[in-house]
Every structure is written in C-alpha cells, then in structure tokens.
Chains A and B, each alone.
Chain A
Amino acid sequence: MSEAQAKINTFRAGPDETGRFGMFGGRFVAETLMPLILDVQQAYKDAKADPSYQADIDYYATHYVGRPSPLYFARRMTEELGGAKIYFKREELNHTGSHKINNVMGQILLARRMGKTRIIAETGAGQHGVATATACALFNMPCKVYMGSVDVARQSPNVFRMKLLGAEVEAVESGSKTLKDALNEAMRDWVANVEDTFYIIGTVAGPAPYPEMVRDFQCVIGNEVREQMMEAEGRLPDTLVACVGGGSNAMGLFHPFLDDPEVKIIGVEAAGHGVETGEHAASITGGRPGVLHGNRMHLLQDEDGQVVEPYSISAGLDYPGIGPEHSWLHDMGRVDYVPATDKEAVDAFQYCSKMEGILPALESAHAIAHVMKLAPTLPKDHIICMNMSGRGDKDVNTIAELMGVSL
C-alpha cells in the first residue's frame, strides 16, 4: 500500500471529513439512518466544544466510575517471568468491571443532550451491555440490549446482571447468534425507532462518528497511563499490549501514544483454535478489507464477500471485524497485531489469577498470554504496560467447564 510508505506527521489526526482512516471507516448505512448519523456527528461536535459536557463526563468518571484506575506493578509476574517490568492498567476495577463504562457514560450524556429517550446496545461478553444497563438505570432511561443467544448461554451471570439493572435483554437467534448478529439486530431496531432511540455502540467500529467517538471516550485510559507511568518510572513505557476484538480498550490505551515512536504497540487478536484451523476471530491475521456494520475494516470473509462466522472462547472478541482505525494502523505499520489462542488465554487466566490475585476477563487474558511470551525475551529495564480491560468473574463458568468442574 503506497499510503503506508508515505511519511506522515501524526497518527492522531483521523478520521477525515468522510469518516475515514486511510481507506477504512466511512458511513455505509441505510438511508433511513443517515440523517440520524449526521445528527449524532453534529451533536458530538457541539458537545466537544461545550465545557459543561466534558465537566459532566469528568464528574461521573470520578464519582461514579471510580477513575482514575490504578496503574499496578505486577511484581510476582515480573519476577517469575524474569524479563521486562510488567504493569497492568487496572480497567477491571472500574464500576461494572471493565473499560466499557468509559464509553457508555460519554454516549449516554450525548443521548440526553440530543433529547433521546430510549437506549439500545449490542453486547458480546455482556460487559458493554452491563455498562449500558447501568448507565440507563442511573439516568432512568429504558434500555434494550441485543445479545446473541450463544453468548446469552455462555455469559449468563452478565445476562442476569443486566436484568437486575432493569434492562430488557433480547436473545438474538439470527446468523451465528453472537456479537455480529447482535449488532445487526440492534441496527434493525434503530432503523425502526430512529426518532426516539440512541444506539450506544460498544466498540471502535460502526459508521462514523462512532469509531472516533468511542476512541475519544476510551482515551482516558492511555492519558492516565502517561501520567501514572511518569510518576512511577519517570518515563513512558516501552511496549503497550492490549487485546483486540472490535478494539475499544486497545484504542483507548494506544491512541495517546501513537506519536511517540519509541513506544512499541501490540494488539492481541483472538486466534481461537489457531488461525490455521479457520476457527478464530483474528480479523487482521486472517481477514482482508471489507464492509460491514457501517464501515470498511479488516473483515473475516470468504471469496464471495460473505462474512465468515468467527470463533473465540471469549465472547467479547468473537467478532469478524476490527475497527477502522486499527485496520489503518496495521496497514501503516504503526501497531503490530499478533494472535493468541484459546488455550494460551485460558492458561494465562489461571496464571494471572494465582500469581497476582487478579481474575482477568478472558478477553484480557489474551493480552496476558502475549505478555507472558514477550516479557522473558526483554531486558529488565524494559517496561511493558498491559491493559487489564475487564474482570473475569463473568468467565468462571466457562473456565470451570473447561477444567471439568461443575459449579
């Protein structure tokens, strides 16, 4: 790609006015949604220019979400792996147990500014659904969460949490019955209810302005890491690691560091049973550019352009695409994307639990798995910062089943 060879001054200027990061992104939606998408774009632009909007976000971040989240030095893992110093950004300590709430608070405050009275969302692992249901309870708004029926079965604790929070959970039976189908169904709901409904998309994908907006709301992660790492080590980290499905926690950590060329950045994709088996969710390693869910991105598809059903043990990474900005950062060579298998993630889950007393989400365990491969190969003064994007309580049933334990 010629674009990749061109030198650019910044990796942080995107998207352009057509919602594109290089060739990726855009607004590939039905006409019914288009006026609303443009409304959201304008409302977000206005909100960004209004100090009271940022003040609202900051207020809830401090008093409700519990920010800033700690930057934690993982001493035992560092010593045992015997190489680089390992830090965790503790996003799993946020209210509702993951980074997802950062984005939800930003979007629900925008929905209120726009006078929308009903909220819909899609969810895979249930973390985004729980965060959305939580914010809807806080602001007394009706909430409908679309979730693939396969995910409803494997993430039952989160389904019950959403119901306790007052949300309606719709089990989606179409297609592969996972995250992509939940997104399709949420889009169909939105088309039928454009007038009163705001769709809170949970990841850095979808039609513009969603990839940009969700990224902006998640950048609090990387911005805090910059400050916290300066305090802890007096310098920036050498390597950043985060798991990527759609890519929101990774983008939140990576984006503030994109223009620091000395910082190496790695996204970890879900390789399922192994990329070579075809049963995986590694959109960059195993996909190519395609158009789905309102944007062009790296997509798992067959030779006819039909979307291939992804597979991962982790419901939050079980998505056939990766956000447009990640797709572009890959093509530009700024971020490396590497795979981690189910087995590696499950081993990392157990290792981290015992070594650090932290049950990671199965999604985050993919990032840990890569850190476990990487740290021993690096010198002791090398600093790795990994995003602990979510907590693993929701995954204990899955892990127990794998271990042959009945709860």
Chain B
Amino acid sequence: MSMAESVGAAPYPDSGRIAARFAKLKAEGRGGLVTYVSAGDPDYDTSLEILKGLPGAGADLIELGMPFTDPMADGPAIQAAGLRALEGGQTLKKTLAMARAVREQDADVPLILMGYYNPIYCYGVDAFLEDAKAAGIDGLIIVDLPPEEDEELCIPALRAGVNFIRLATPTTDDHRLPTVLNNTSGFVYYVSILGITGTKTVEADAVREAVERIKRHTDLPVAVGFGVKTPESAKAISKVADAAVVGSAIVERVKSALDEGVEKSAIPARVLEFVASLAQGVRS
C-alpha cells in the first residue's frame, strides 16, 4: 500500500499545533516528552496548577485524562487517579474548563484529551467537539474506539478539525496497521507493552523495531507510552521514537504526596519537579 492511501491525510484543517510542536522538536534534534495527568486529581484547583506548570517544567505535549469510573485499559495508578478526581467532583465540563484555562496561558502547547467514550457519548458528540475546540483542544485519544467504530467519534472529530490519535499496539500487525493508521492524525501513539498502563517496563530495543515498522506505513510522528516510568527510560525512548509518554509515574507522585500527608498546595511543586527530571531526560 502506498503512503497516500495508508496515511489518513486530514481533508479538514486542524489547529496545526501538534504538527508545529513535532516540527520544533525535529529542529531541536530531540524526542519530545508527553505528560499525562488525570484532570481533577486530587481536586480541581490543585490539578489546574499542575497543568499550568507542565509547559514550564518541560512537557512538550499535554495529555489530559478524562476521569471514568471504569477505565478498562488502565492499571492501578491511573484507575486510582481517576477515582480521586471523580470523588473531588470532576466532570467532563470541568475538564474542558481546565483545558481552556491552560490554553489561555499557553497558545502553543498541544492539548490532547485522553479517556473513554461513554462520558463523551453522554455529553453528545457534536456538543462535545464544539466545546472541546472552543477550549483549545487539539486532539483526542479514546481508548475504546478502535477503527471499527470510526463513525462514532473519529470521523466527526476530523471534520471538526480535532485530531484523532490512534493507539497502535504490539498486536497490530502489518496487515492491520493500515486500518489503524487510516483516519489517524496528529501522531500515532504506540502502546509499547501488552497490557494496561503502568504495569510493565518498556524495552527500548523492541520499541525501536516497532517504531521503524510503523514508520514504514506513515509519515506521522510516533509517540511511545504505557511503560515509561523514569527519566532514563524517557531518554531511551525519546532516542528511538518522536516522543515518550509518561502517565502512571506522574500520577503516582500525586498519590505518594497524598499518602505522606503533604499539603495540597505543595503537591504541584512535587509533581512538576518530577516532570522537570523527565524533561531533562529527553533533553540529554
């Protein structure tokens, strides 16, 4: 299959922020750092302060987790983070408000919402896309929407100019890869392990091969996540992929701070310090 057929060249204009950020990373000659936090964890204000601090701490792209009661592809760390946020009263509406606040402060950082379909379905797909776009959202990663369900949200999102970032996994073979890449835009998120978030440790050599395999099918940047936990592994992954995604290890910082009885006002500094060490990893 030729490139033109296999790459979902978006026929509708998007914000351009994701492509611009990856172009900048390329110019700097390094891989990027994508950071995931659960919106509203442990509460709205603390979470917003963390979010606003992420670009300054060195995050190149931000994934904002939309909490869901039943996150089937997530390990214990992100499950717990989502539940803390829900207990704190987080809703999809509040998550969008949070995104808007970050966007007002930073015009360039790509903002990507990540989560599960039901809260969006419940919100109403059209209303959600309109509000997400108005809030400055650049892309969506929806774990439980494979290409087979593209009509649900992917196509409407692309039409609305919101990137739909698909997950590719070790089980996505060369035969299936074109199906997964079709209608994918922004970047490809490679899930480096078989399993749920935060449970296994990624191996850079296996990732290198997988990234090369995906790049034979697409010109889109490839970010790698689901097992990147330390500045060292972020560094190793950023050498073989366009970006490393860290999620569970970041939200664990919120949990450990809570467990140690750290005051809420001190949590953002704790989390951002860790993000800065990851950022140093991808820059070294």
Contact = CB atoms under 8 A, between A and B. Distances in A.
A43 interface: no
B5 to A, nearest CB: 20
B205 interface: no
B272 to A, nearest CB: 28
Given A191-B73, A191-B194, A192-B195, A291 B173 contact: no
Contacts of B195: 32, 188, 191-192
A31 interface: yes
Nearest to B90: A304
Nearest to A174: B79
Number of chain A interface residues as a range = 35 or more
B169 A31 contact: yes
B70 A31 contact: no
Contacts of A195: 194
Contacts of B191: 31-32
A35 B70 contact: no
Contacts of A30: 72-73, 143-144, 146, 167, 169
B274 interface: no
Contacts of A36: 171
A301 B118 contact: yes
Nearest to B189: A31
Interface stretch (A4-12, A21-29, A142-150, A160-168): A21-29
A27 B118 contact: no
A117 interface: no
A6 B231 CA distance: 60
Given A28-B144, A31-B146, A192-B194, A291 B121 contact: yes
Contacts of A406: none
Q: Is the interface of A mostly helix, strand, loop or mixed?
A: mixed
Nearest to A27: B148
A223 interface: no
A296 B169 CA distance: 24
B10 interface: no
Contacts, number: 118
Contact of B171 (A32, A180, A187, A304): A32
B70 A180 contact: yes
A26 B152 CA distance: 11
Contact of A31 (B75, B116, B168, B199): B168
Contacts of A291: 116-118, 121, 144
Contact of B92 (A193, A293, A301, A305): A305
A131 B94 CA distance: 45
Contacts of B92: 304-305
B28 interface: no
B147 to A, nearest CB: 8
Nearest to B194: A192
A33 B145 CA distance: 11
Number of chain B interface residues as a range = 35 or more
Contact of B117 (A28, A34, A301, A307): A28
B75 to A, nearest CB: 8
A193 B194 contact: yes
A181 B170 CA distance: 26
B70 A175 contact: yes
B146 A34 contact: yes
Interface string A299-310: 101011111000
B105 to A, nearest CB: 26
Interface in A303-324: 303-307
B172 to A, nearest CB: 6
Contacts of B22: none
Contact of A29 (B75, B118, B146, B196): B146
26 contacts: A18-B148, A27-B148, A29-B146, A30-B72, A30-B146, A30-B169, A31-B166, A31-B169, A31-B191, A32-B73, A32-B191, A32-B194, A34-B146, A34-B171, A36-B171, A174-B79, A175-B83, A188-B75, A191-B73, A192-B194, A304-B91, A305-B92, A305-B118, A306-B68, A306-B86, A307-B70
Interface of A: 18, 26-36, 174-175, 180-181, 184, 187-188, 191-195, 290-294, 296, 299, 301, 303-307
Given A31-B172, A304-B119, A306-B69, 15 more contacts: A28-B117, A29-B146, A31-B146, A32-B73, A32-B167, A32-B191, A34-B172, A188-B75, A188-B195, A291-B116, A304-B92, A304-B93, A305-B122, A307-B69, A307-B118
Q: Which 5 A-B pairs have the closest CB atoms?
A: A305-B122, A192-B195, A305-B119, A32-B169, A307-B69
